[in-house]
């Protein structure tokens, strides 16, 4: 989406926003349905063959995944491929890197989507292998850990979301990107950023675009992603394990989300608190309060005690002070102050 | 022959003299230990004298009597009126305390107070070195006796000794200075002295020599550094009734004698004595405020507070003559006058509370004795709090306006040194605020040590409440008193 | 009697009556009389808004009478767009605080209520005074009731806090007194603020005046580095005292900058503008960081107040309409929000007697209604759009960005810090599961506490959703002020 904005393909970005809304919501809801059906187990390593028990969830999730990876005719295809085209046509400095990134992204997206799909809905059942299974919320009998389909309040929305995930792109790409939908709401400097113009010229209708996809890189990249996922997680599960062992540092990096959270919590948050603590203890308490405020007060107290001692109680001291006073005044005013 | 005008000028003083003797005689016949007859007689006579003074002051004339020995002018009469009222109030507060401590025997407290007032009156209206000295001595000798009234109390006797010895020294300084000035100028009369000095014919050094002694003597009476050392010991040691007698009204007299001597007589030497007063003021503000912080005895703390407050009065007095020009004089001296009047009013209430809380055998002089007063008696705690805030200079009490007037007079010259002094003075006030606040803290924030309610006769209750109320009210509408001071001082300067 | 005099003296009169007649044996009657007094005093301020003309910057509802002839001091009152909402806010908060202290205060109830009523009247006096000495008298006089409130009904370390409050603020004010006297003399014997606005002054004089005023107002606001009294005082003061202190008393200082520092010494204000902006930004960032590590809830909110007021002074010294209006709006908004925050902490403290975050956890489980209110106030404290806290911050940040991008960026960091410390506190106290026996036994808020929360919640939401009545009132006066400040006064 943001890449599209960078390529001055604003209408495409908004279009993708819309299509993405449908299939992503569908995928989340589907995930939720699976979690509910799996008695609040979220770990996909301990799922498998859920399609047998949750058919509606299975089909709608499959549709959502297909839309996400950009399968021709599905809505995600129209928006994603338009973006990839727009980036390709952009002549900005970073466009080359962006182009590589979006294409690589197509492969990675297909791979992880279908990794999850295969692990959850296909393969062998692995429910009993979960060490953290919830034993708490068993409402009825001890019959099984096996999942059950969600009630209609869940499945109906799944179906309702699946429909536009499939068709909305096909139906709206023409008016939104190349038609009058945005009218004058979006301005593009067509000379500097000719992306949209080129796209408009190249567009020959949604069916043609879908059929043409077979000859473009994204289609094959997505397909490759699906195939690799199928191989690695259904046919030969030893491969991901072996790769994980071989590329251990990479796996750790990924499991820790590139340490972004760690940086936030330990460097930014803890650092801010340390800074705050330092400013408070040293700045406020020691320097300002201790030294200036209370310090000045203690000074006054000390001088006061010293002053008090001047009053000795002896009469002759008092008389002496009076005489000294006169003497000093005399000295100053009669002799010095001419 | 002495003309009737002269008699008019000293008519109130004659009344005082006669009544003092009458009171002493009448008391011989009185037997009740509470001495009610003597008490009422004193109050009535003083009341009459106060009314006389108010009447004279209102009439606005300035008259000289006995060949310029004394003057009858509005400023003098107002000060005498306030002094008389102050002595009356002191007697009201002092009587229960004195009765408990066997100080009323012989009615001496009443007659001595009236004699002291007589001395004050002579000081306030004198126009001649010797007359002023006479008044001063009458006041001080009566005060020594008052302080020593509890013959059986060691602390009181010690205080009286110190007061007497140091006071004698100070009077000696004053007299010596006066004699130097007399020798230099050839006259005891203030107006003549003024003229001779202004003419520039006398050697300056001789004059300054005399001036230093005069200022020292006056500084002792006012209680400023370095002649202040008697103040804490005497205030603390004397029986509280006597403390009030020497802390309240005499300040008005001290202020008056300074005006008469320095402003009316020695104004041409203003450059010198203003500098002296400045030094004394700075020292007083420092010592007074700093030492007060460390005190645990309330009377001693108030003594040091007095030293600091008098420092402020001096600041007012030293701002009159700017670059040889006396135009700012009215502003400065009237500010100082307002300050002293406000101060005396507040002091009366403060010591009134201490006297109120003192019961037989229990002196109530430690600050901690006031603990939890708000729980025992919110009214008196309120009066004391108002007084403390007033002394600290927090609006809307009269003390704030007093400080404002004095600072304004100081800054009016525009000199940077004066502005710096003003900043110094407010910093000292800040330090001062601490010990005044501490008293409020003890009364309001601390738990009461005793649960006894505070009982008092109706006269004390009414007068004390009015006293406290007046401190607050004069803070909300200070205009009348300020104008009164301003007008009377202007008239004094005009002559 | 003029409306402003009525607004000032009604609460004071009620306070005096309570002092004279109230007894702890009749505590209920005392409380009801105080409530009536507070409500009447609030109603009396409403005609000020109703009759306020929006199109003029002149002072309205003016009253003038000679007070102290000797110094040409007048009892001179008036409101303009800058002071109007502050006055109404003061009276409103007073009502809230009286209700909030209903059951908690059991000894010397009449003195407690009287102190707040008198304090409220005095503060309205500060905002409406047009004579320099009258302003000062009211300004200083507010110290007395607050000192007593902290010292009599405060926490374990109340003595230290009360003295710190009084002496720290007094120090600054005494320097301002010298400044006022100086202006009196320079202007040839006038304490009239409007006259001082027009008075030409040399650069030295303006610098001296600016710093003398700064001494008092910076301590009051409080600005960094003279802010350390506020956390100590808030922790020890009773809940009502904290609420009034944060909601109104801090604003006295900010108001002083607008009414005195800027228009009387505009050249100095411009010259030291960068200095003021730097101090404000330090307040926002430094204090924001310090707030994050606080374990005591009241201390946290106290530091948060310092940061919010940093926004206010920042807004003022960028000298733009957005900045100054934004600062003013923030002042009013902070009044509502901080009162809400402190009163929420008060509700918890009344039950558990602890202000430590660690003593709580999962309060939402046992006190859901209360937690909802607390969430609203917490969000408003962060500056969530739709709440009062957003409007002022938004205006100031916008003004700051226009002034200088870096300043705006740093100012915007306030939003991050604000969210960090407020929401983290909210999470630790209210969310999660109940871990503590004290929390398990909590009862939800009763009708009285609900009323207090609701009153403030309505104010917070109203101002957040429809700030127009506030900004409309300020617009012309702020423009007039800025016009005046833009002109040099050097002779």
Q: Residue A321: which of B162, B165, B226 has the nearest Cβ?
A: B226
Nearest-Cα distance to chain C for A21, in Å, is: 26
Q: pLDDT-based confidence at C57, cuts 50/70/90?
A: confident
Q: What is the pLDDT of residue A134?
A: 56
For residue B394, the chain C residues in CB contact (below 8 A) are 140-141, 143-144, 170
Closest CA to B148 of B136, B162, B163, B160: B160
From the list A300, A322, A325, the residue facing B293 with the nearest CB is A300
Establish whether the linkage from the previous residue to B370 is cis, with ω within 30° of 0: no
What mean pLDDT is reported for chain B? 89
Which of C168, C286, C293 lies closest to A273 in CB terms?
C293
Mean pLDDT computed over A293-312: 86
Chain-centre distance of CA A81, in angstroms?
A: 24
- Cβ–Cβ under 8 Å, residues C383 and C390: yes
CB burial readout A210-221, b (16+ within 10 A) else e: beebeeeebbeb
Residue among A313, A317, A330 minimizing CB distance to B212: A330
- State percent of chain A over pLDDT 90: 18
- The reported pLDDT for the residue numbered A143 is 47
Residues 6+ apart with CB under 8 A from C305: C230, C234, C246, C250, C334, C338
pLDDT in tens, B339-355: 999 999 999 999 999 98
For tokens 């004391």, name the residue: B384
Residue C191: predicted pLDDT: 93
Residue A31 pLDDT exceeds 80: yes
Q: For tokens 């109007």, what's the residue?
A: C84
A73 Ramachandran zone, left/alpha/beta (phi>0; psi -120 to 50): left
Which run of H or of E encompasses B71? strand B70-72
What is the Cα–Cα distance from A58 to A52, expressed in whole angstroms? 9
> For residue C461, is pLDDT > 90?
yes
Contact A321, B229 (CB under 8 A): yes
Q: Specify the range with the lowest mean pLDDT, choosing from A279-288, B136-145, B396-405, C73-82.
A: A279-288
B335 pLDDT band, cuts 50/70/90, is very high
The minimal CB distance from C141 to the residues B396, B405, B482 is found for: B396
Q: Range with the lowest mean pLDDT among A43-47, B160-164, C208-212?
A: A43-47
- Contact residues on chain A for C223, CB-CB shorter than 8 A: none
Evaluate whether C61 touches C1 at the Cβ level (below 8 Å).
no
Residue C45's pLDDT is what? Answer: 93
Percent of chain A with pLDDT over 70: 95
Q: Which residues pair with C66 in a beta bridge?
A: C74
Least confident range of A142-156, B188-202, B391-405, C469-483: A142-156
User: Tokens at residue A199, please?
Assistant: 């796209």
Q: Which residue of C has its CA nearest to B438?
A: C163
Q: Do A318 and B291 touch (CB under 8 A)?
A: no
Instruction: Give CA–CA dist C250/C335, Å, rounded.
Output: 9
Band (pLDDT 50/70/90 cuts) for residue C213 is very high
A284: chain C residues, CB-CB within 8 Å? 228, 231, 290
Q: Does the CB of B430 have a partner CB in chain C at under 8 Å?
A: yes
Q: Is residue A133 very low, low, confident or very high in pLDDT (cuts 50, 70, 90)?
A: low
CB within 8 A of B200, min separation 6: which ones? none
Give the tens place of pLDDT for each residue, A207-225. Answer: 888 888 888 888 899 999 9
State both tokens at B228. 């202040």
Radius of gyration of chain B (CA): 21
- At residue B330, does pLDDT exceed 80? yes
Poorest-confidence range of A11-15, A183-187, A210-214, B425-429?
A183-187
pLDDT for res B487 = 86
| Beta strands C73-79 and B70-72, pairing class | unpaired
Interaxial angle between packed helices B74-100 and B329-357, expressed in degrees from 0 to 180 and rounded to the nearest 10 = 10
C129, β-bridge pairs: C77
Per-residue pLDDT reduced to its tens digit, C268-305:
999 999 999 999 999 899 999 999 999 999 999 999 99
Of C97, C87, C94, which is closest to residue C118 (Cα–Cα)? C94
pLDDT digits (tens, 9 = 90+) for A176-193: 888 778 877 888 777 777
**B163 part of contact set with chain A, CB < 8 Å:** no
Chain B residue closest in CA terms to A309: B291
Interface contacts B/C by beta carbons within 8 Å:
96
CA–CA gap between residue B310 and residue B47 (Å, rounded): 28
What pLDDT shows up at residue B324?
Answer: 63
| Cβ atoms of B441 and C162 closer than 8 Å | yes
- Across the interface, whether the CB atoms of C181 and B408 are under 8 A apart is answered yes
What is the token pair recorded at C262?
């800027």
Distance CA C150, CA C230 (A): 12
**Most confident residue range from B1-15, B62-76, B357-371:** B62-76
Place of tokens 């104008």: B483
Rounded to whole angstroms, what are the CA distances from B383 to B440, B462, B481, C163, C356? Answer: 11, 12, 21, 20, 39
Would you say residue B430 has pLDDT above 70?
A: yes
Averaged pLDDT, A270-287:
88
Give me the mean pLDDT over the B5-15 stretch: 86
* DSSP annotation of C187: T
* C257 vs A290: which has the higher pLDDT: C257
Task: Name which of B404, B441, B478 is nearest C151 (Cβ-Cβ).
Answer: B441
Residue A135 confidence (pLDDT): 55
- CB contacts of B225 in chain A (<8 Å) are 325
Cis peptide before C480 (omega within 30 of 0): no
Question: Considering only CB atoms, which residues of chain C are within 8 Å of chain A?
Answer: 164, 168, 225, 228-229, 231, 286, 289-294, 420
Top-confidence residue, B121 or A124: B121
Number of H helices, E strands in chain C: 24, 2
Model confidence pLDDT, tens digit, residues B209-237: 999 999 999 999 999 989 999 999 999 99
List residues in chain C touching B: CB distance below 8 A. Answer: 19, 66-71, 108, 111, 133, 136-138, 140-141, 143-144, 147-148, 151-152, 158-159, 162-163, 166-167, 170-171, 174-175, 177-178, 181-182, 184-185
Q: Which residues of B touch A305 (CB under 8 A)?
A: 294
For the stretch A282-302, pLDDT in tens is: 888 888 888 888 888 888 888
Instruction: With beta carbons less than 8 A apart as the criterion, state whether C184 and C71 touch.
Output: yes
Question: 3-state class of B477 per DSSP?
Answer: coil
Interchain pair B229, A303: CB under 8 A:
no
Are the CB atoms for B373 and B443 separated by under 8 Å? yes
User: Does residue B473 belong to the interface with chain A, where contact is any CB pair within 8 Å?
Assistant: no
Question: Residue B220 to residues A2, B11, B356: CA-CA distances in angstroms?
Answer: 89, 30, 29
Cβ(B280)–Cβ(B314) below 8 Å: yes
Cα B390 to Cα B397: distance, rounded to the nearest angstrom: 5
Residue C234 CA neighbour count, 13 Å, CB half: 32
| Pair C418, C382: CB distance under 8 Å | yes
Instruction: Pick the most confident of A251-265, B299-313, C25-39.
Output: B299-313
Is the pLDDT reported for residue B448 higher than 90? no
Q: Which of A300-304, C403-407, C438-442 has the lowest mean pLDDT?
A: C438-442
Question: For residue B362, what is the DSSP state?
Answer: B
Residue-level pLDDT at C408: 93
Select, from the ranges A1-5, A247-251, C103-107, C338-342, the one with the highest average predicted confidence (pLDDT): C338-342
3-class state of residue A233 by DSSP: helix
Q: Which of C164, C228, C289 sits opposite A275 (nearest CB)?
A: C289
Partners of B299 in beta bridges = none
User: Chains meeting C at 3+ CB pairs closer than 8 A?
Assistant: A, B
> What's the pTM value of the predicted model, to 2 decimals?
0.88
- C76 vs B217, C68, C416, CA distance in Å? 46, 12, 44
pLDDT at B106 over 80: no
Cβ under 8 Å to C: A residues 294-333: none
């Amino acid at each position: 989406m943001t890449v599209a904005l960078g390529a001055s393909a604003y209408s495409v970005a908004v279009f993708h926003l819309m299509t993405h809304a449908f299939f992503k919501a569908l995928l989340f809801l589907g995930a939720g349905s699976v979690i509910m059906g799996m008695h609040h187990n979220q770990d996909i390593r301990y799922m498998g063959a859920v399609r047998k028990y949750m058919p509606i969830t299975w089909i709608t999730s499959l549709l959502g995944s297909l839309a996400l990876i950009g399968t021709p005719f599905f809505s995600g295809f129209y928006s994603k491929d338009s973006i990839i085209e727009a980036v390709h046509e952009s002549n900005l400095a970073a466009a080359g890197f962006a182009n590589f990134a979006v294409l690589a992204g197509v492969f990675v997206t297909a791979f992880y989507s279908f990794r999850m799909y295969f692990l959850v809905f296909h393969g062998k059942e692995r429910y009993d292998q979960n060490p953290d299974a919830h034993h708490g919320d068993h409402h009825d009998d001890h019959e099984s850990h096996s999942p059950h389909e969600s009630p209609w309040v869940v499945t109906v929305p799944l179906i309702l979301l699946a429909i536009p995930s499939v068709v909305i792109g096909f139906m709206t790409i023409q008016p939104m990107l190349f038609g009058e939908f945005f009218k004058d709401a979006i301005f593009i400097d067509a000379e500097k950023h000719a992306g949209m113009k080129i796209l408009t010229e190249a567009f020959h209708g949604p069916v043609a675009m879908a059929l043409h996809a077979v000859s473009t890189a994204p289609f094959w990249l997505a397909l490759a992603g699906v195939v690799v996922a199928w191989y690695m997680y259904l046919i030969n599960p030893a491969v991901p394990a072996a790769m994980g062992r071989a590329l251990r540092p990479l796996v750790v990096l990924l499991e820790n989300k590139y340490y972004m959270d760690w940086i936030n919590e330990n460097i930014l948050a803890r650092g801010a608190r340390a800074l705050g603590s330092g400013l408070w203890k040293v700045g406020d308490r020691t320097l300002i309060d201790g030294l200036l405020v209370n310090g000045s007060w203690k000074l006054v107290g000390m001088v006061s005690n010293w002053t008090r001692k001047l009053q000795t109680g002896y009469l002759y001291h008092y008389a002496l002070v009076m005489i000294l006073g006169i003497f000093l005044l005399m000295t100053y005013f009669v002799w010095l102050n001419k | 022959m002495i003309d009737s005008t002269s008699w008019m000028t000293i008519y109130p003083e004659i009344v005082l003299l006669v009544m003092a003797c009458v009171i002493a005689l009448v008391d011989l016949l009185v037997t009740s230990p509470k001495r009610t007859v003597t008490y009422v007689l004193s109050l009535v006579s003083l009341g009459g004298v106060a009314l006389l003074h108010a009447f004279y002051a209102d009439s606005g004339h300035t008259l000289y009597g006995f060949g310029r020995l004394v003057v009858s002018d509005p400023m003098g009469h107002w000060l005498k009126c306030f002094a008389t009222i102050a002595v009356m109030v002191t007697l009201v507060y002092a009587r229960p305390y004195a009765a408990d401590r066997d100080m009323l025997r012989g009615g001496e407290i009443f007659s001595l107070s009236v004699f002291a007032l007589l001395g004050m009156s002579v000081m306030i209206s004198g126009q001649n070195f010797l007359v002023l000295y006479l008044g001063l001595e009458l006041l001080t000798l009566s005060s020594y006796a008052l302080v020593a009234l509890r013959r059986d109390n060691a602390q009181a006797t010690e205080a009286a000794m110190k007061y007497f010895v140091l006071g004698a020294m100070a009077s000696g300084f004053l007299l010596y200075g006066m004699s130097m000035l007399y020798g230099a100028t050839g006259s005891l009369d203030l107006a003549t002295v003024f003229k001779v000095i202004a003419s520039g014919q006398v050697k300056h050094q001789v004059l300054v020599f005399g001036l230093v002694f005069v200022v020292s003597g006056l500084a002792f009476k006012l209680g400023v550094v370095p002649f202040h050392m008697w103040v804490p010991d005497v205030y603390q040691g004397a029986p509280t009734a006597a403390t009030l007698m020497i802390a309240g009204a005499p300040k008005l007299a001290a202020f008056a004698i300074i005006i008469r001597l320095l402003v009316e007589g020695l104004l041409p030497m203003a450059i010198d004595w203003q500098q002296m007063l400045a030094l004394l003021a700075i020292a007083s503000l420092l010592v007074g405020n700093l030492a007060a912080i460390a005190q645990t005895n309330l009377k001693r703390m108030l003594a040091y507070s007095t030293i600091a407050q008098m420092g402020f009065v001096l600041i007012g007095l030293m701002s009159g003559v700017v670059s040889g020009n006396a135009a700012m004089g009215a502003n400065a001296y009237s500010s100082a006058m307002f300050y002293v009047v406000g101060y005396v009013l507040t002091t009366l209430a403060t010591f009134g509370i201490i006297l109120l809380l003192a019961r037989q055998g229990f002196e109530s002089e430690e600050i901690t004795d006031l603990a939890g007063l708000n729980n025992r008696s919110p009214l008196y705690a309120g009066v004391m709090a108002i007084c403390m805030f007033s002394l600290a200079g927090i609006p809307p009490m009269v003390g704030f306006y007093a400080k404002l007037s004095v600072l304004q007079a100081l800054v009016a010259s525009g000199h940077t040194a004066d502005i710096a002094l003003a900043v110094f003075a407010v910093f000292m006030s800040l330090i001062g605020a601490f010990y005044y606040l501490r008293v409020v803290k003890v009364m309001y924030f601390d738990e009461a040590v005793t649960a006894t309610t505070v009982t008092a006769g109706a006269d004390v209750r009414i007068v004390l409440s009015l006293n406290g109320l007046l401190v607050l009210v004069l803070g909300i509408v200070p205009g009348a008193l300020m104008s009164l001071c301003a007008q009377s001082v202007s008239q004094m300067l005009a002559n | 009697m003029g409306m402003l005099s009525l607004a000032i003296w009604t609460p004071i009169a009620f306070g005096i009556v309570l002092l004279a007649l109230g007894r702890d044996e009749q505590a209920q009657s005392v409380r009801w009389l105080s409530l009536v007094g507070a409500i009447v005093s609030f109603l009396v301020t409403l005609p000020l808004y109703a009759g306020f003309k929006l199109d003029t910057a002149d002072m309205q509802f003016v009253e003038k009478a000679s007070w102290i002839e000797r110094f040409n001091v007048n009892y001179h009152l008036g409101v303009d767009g800058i002071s109007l909402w502050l006055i109404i806010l003061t009276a409103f908060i007073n009502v809230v605080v009286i209700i909030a202290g209903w059951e908690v205060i059991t000894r010397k109830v009449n003195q407690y209520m009287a102190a707040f009523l008198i304090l409220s009247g005095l503060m309205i006096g500060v905002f409406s005074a047009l004579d320099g000495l009258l302003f000062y008298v009211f300004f200083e006089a507010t110290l007395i009731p607050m000192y007593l409130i902290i010292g009599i009904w405060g926490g374990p370390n109340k003595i230290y806090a009360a003295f710190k409050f009084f002496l720290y603020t007094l120090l600054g004010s005494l320097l301002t007194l010298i400044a006022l006297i100086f202006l009196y003399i320079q202007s040839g014997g006038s304490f009239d603020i409007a006259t001082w606005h027009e008075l030409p002054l040399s650069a030295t004089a303006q610098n001296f005046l600016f710093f003398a005023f700064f001494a008092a107002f910076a301590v009051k606001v409080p600005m960094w580095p003279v802010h350390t009294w506020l956390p100590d005082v808030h922790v020890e003061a009773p809940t009502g005292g904290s609420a009034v202190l944060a909601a109104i008393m801090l604003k006295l200082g900010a108001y002083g900058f607008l009414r005195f520092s800027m228009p009387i010494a505009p050249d100095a204000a411009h010259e030291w503008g960068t200095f003021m902006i730097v101090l404000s930004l330090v307040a926002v960032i430094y204090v924001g960081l310090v707030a994050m590590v606080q374990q005591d809830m009241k201390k946290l909110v106290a530091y948060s107040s310092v940061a919010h007021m940093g926004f206010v002074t920042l807004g003022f010294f960028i000298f733009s309409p957005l900045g100054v209006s934004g600062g003013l709006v923030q002042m009013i908004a902070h009044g509502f929000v901080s009162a809400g925050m402190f009163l929420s902490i008060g509700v918890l403290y009344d039950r558990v007697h602890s202000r430590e975050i660690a003593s709580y956890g999962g309060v939402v489980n046992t006190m859901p209604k209360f937690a909802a209110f607390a969430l609203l106030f917490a969000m408003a404290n962060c500056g969530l759009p739709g709440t009062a806290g957003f409007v002022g911050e938004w205006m100031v940040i916008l003004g700051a960005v226009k002034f200088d991008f870096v300043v705006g960026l740093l100012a915007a960091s306030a939003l991050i810090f604000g969210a960090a410390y407020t929401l983290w506190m909210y999470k630790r106290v209210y969310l999660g599961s109940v871990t503590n026996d004290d929390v398990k036994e909590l009862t939800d808020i009763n009708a009285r506490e609900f009323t207090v929360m609701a009153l403030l919640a309505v104010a917070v939401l109203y101002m957040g959703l429809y700030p127009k009545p506030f900004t409309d009132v300020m617009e012309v006066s702020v423009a007039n002020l800025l016009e005046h400040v833009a002109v040099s006064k050097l002779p």
